[in-house]
Amino acid sequence: MYPFFSIIIPVYNSEKYLEVCLNSILKQSFSDYEILIINDSSKDRSKNICNDFKRTSSKIKIIENKKNLGVSLSRNKGIKNSSGKYIIFLDSDDILVPGSLKKLHHYILLTKTNIIVLKHNELKNNYKNSIK
């Protein structure tokens, strides 16, 4: 069976943020998703962090770019390798606040929509102190 969401995360030299990003997904109450990490030839510890998370979660797939392709081509690789009904693009320095996937899933089922564009909040310290 295919997951409801494919969460595509291009990663390039994101060691400072990557763990928080991935934990924010893995701690969601909604669990019908896959995570596709596209490592865009990172030079820092990002690849190691991705592999550590992959060992702890079967939801994670890692795609390695042999050379730096940039965010757009990396996202396109993620799309080609995804199997979810809906695609979510997340940057490696983004987080999903608790309950995000559950609310998004509910909204999609309620409205039967095909495309949703979400406004993001810039976060300061934690998600409780958000700036629109």
pLDDT in tens, 108-126: 999 998 888 877 666 555 5
Q: Does residue 107 or residue 115 have the better pLDDT?
A: 107
Give dist(CA 61, CA 57) in Å, integer: 9
Residue-wise pLDDT tens digits, 74-88:
999 999 999 999 999
Question: For position 55, what pLDDT does the model report?
Answer: 97
For the segment 59-80, the average pLDDT, to the nearest whole number, is 98
CA contacts within 13 A on the Cβ side of 27: 10
pLDDT above 70 covers a percentage of the chain that reads 89
Number of helices followed by number of strands (H, E) in the chain: 4, 6
What global pTM score does this model have? Answer: 0.90
Give yes or no for residue 42 having a pLDDT over 70.
yes
